[in-house]
Amino acid sequence: MTLPSSWTSDLALPESSFAESALTRQGMLTKPPGSLGRLEELAITLSAQQRTESPAVDKVHISVFAGDHGVCREGISAFPQAVTAQMIANFAHGGAAISVLARQLDAHLEVVNLGTVGDVPPMLSGVVDEIIAPMTGNLASEPAMSPEQVVQAVAAGDRAAERAANAGAQLFIGGDMGIGNTTSAAALACALLNRRPDQLAGPGTGLDADGVSHKARVIARALARQELETDPLRLLASLGGFEITALAGAYLGAAARGIPVLVDGYIVSVAALAAVKQQPALRHWLHFSHQSAEPGHRLVLDALEADPLLDLGMRLGEGSGAATAVPLLRSACALHNGMASFADAGVSEGS
Ligand SMILES: O=C(O)c1ccc[n+]([C@@H]2O[C@H](COP(=O)([O-])O)[C@@H](O)[C@H]2O)c1
Ligand SMILES: Cc1cc2nc[nH]c2cc1C
């Protein structure tokens, strides 16, 4: 098993000539310059990423990556580990939040099962089996993944991006599902940002203050276990999760295929941070949908110089915050493509 080329080969930047023409067009539309605020920026950035004068996000591909975490045996989540497998079935049966949002957006939704402790019913429609192991190692006391497993997870993410590209997706959304994954994400963020566990540990699915302190101590044990790694792949192997690693692979895979990415909440932002560390050019392919209620998210967003579009107090994961922001991107494109120019509408321009 080898790493996909999207992980190792230099990533191209979006095409700046399309950004320049989009900026010129924005200046000709019947509105005071800049008055559509960030909707203008969105249309301009999407034009460059999609290499088009008419950006669109009609075709949205959502991959929810699911996997279980050995660190759950440390009692770091408000929910039992069995929920990961149960939610995979719920995604497939259409009852999860992301299932509803995907239907509302007419988006393609798939769930990538990387391995769970609980049983997932066989042959669920929309579930892609990429099973690595029932769960990761307990990162508090051992590496989460072997070198082979981390490559398997990156490759599974890249394959999701390939499916998105083959389906003609204009936007890629990655979601996460994994009980215990805020502990893994926080540990990774500590290592990537050189921060203390108490700065990145939060309630996740609903821990109380004592639970959050315990979680920070578990993360401190994980960080003390290893030499401070700088290589993203080795860091992911030590502290990551199958789904977090696959997300990093999927983001690089989407960008390498010219598909812009809309980033969801806390866990996926940490995956994005690891992937940007691997390939800094990835940052130019990312849009940030929302600020999660998980307190550590702000530090991760700051490190990525990201100012997300929404702040709704959401902390669900599964791609739900990103899906909620898609209508804003659609409005940005519709305005860019559909508004009349001053000349066409006979409206006088300002000075
Ligand atoms: O996306 C977020 O910002 C977010 C914040 C807190 C929790 N979650 C979700 O909750 C699960 C992890 O929480 P926990 O407490 O088990 O570590 C996992 O399935 C995530 O998708 C997601
Ligand atoms: C019910 C439930 C749904 C989720 N979706 C993403 N993470 C989740 C965690 C729980 C506990």
Q: Is 115 in the pocket of ligand 2 (CB under 6 A)?
A: no
Pocket (CB within 6 angstroms of ligand 1): 77-79, 176-183, 204-205, 264-267, 292, 294, 315-318
CA 65 – ligand 2 centroid, Å: 13
Active site residue 318: yes
Q: Are 274 and 192 in contact, with CB atoms under 8 Å apart?
A: yes
Our mutation pick for probing the ligand 2 site, out of 205, 268, 292, 315, counting the most ligand atoms within 8 A of Cβ, is 205
| Fold topology of 57-328 | Rossmann fold (3.40.50)
Please tell me the number of the ligand nearest to residue 176's CA.
1
Length of the chain, in residues? 351
CB 290 within 8 A of CB 322: yes
Instruction: Give yes or no for residue 64 CB within 6 A of ligand 2.
Output: no
Classify residue 214 by burial, with Cβ atoms within 10 Å: 0-12, 13-18, 19+: middle
Among 20, 243, 318, 349, the active-site one is: 318
Q: For ligand 1, pick from 316, 318, 324 the residue to mutate: most ligand atoms within 8 Å of CB.
A: 316
Contact 261, 25 (CB under 8 A): no
| CA 146 remoteness from chain centre | 23
Q: Which ligand ends up closest to the CA of 90?
A: 2
Ordered per-residue pLDDT tens for the chain, 351 residues: 899 999 999 999 999 999 999 999 999 999 999 999 999 999 999 999 999 999 999 999 999 999 999 999 999 999 999 999 999 999 999 999 999 999 999 999 999 999 999 999 999 999 999 999 999 999 999 999 999 999 999 999 999 999 999 999 999 999 999 999 999 999 999 999 999 999 999 999 999 999 999 999 999 999 999 777 789 999 999 999 999 999 999 999 999 999 999 999 999 999 999 999 999 999 999 999 999 999 999 999 999 999 999 999 999 999 999 999 999 999 999 999 999 999 999 999 999
258 class by beta-carbon count within 10 Å (0-12 exposed, 13-18 middle, 19+ buried): middle
* Ligand 2 atom at shortest distance from the alpha carbon of 179: 9
CA atoms of 245 and 200, how far apart (whole Å): 19
Task: Tell me the CA–centroid distance for residue 42 and ligand 1, in Å.
Answer: 27
Q: Per residue in 190-249, pLDDT tens? A: 999 999 999 999 999 999 999 999 999 999 999 999 777 789 999 999 999 999 999 999
d(CA 348, CA 351): 10
pTM metric for this prediction? 0.98
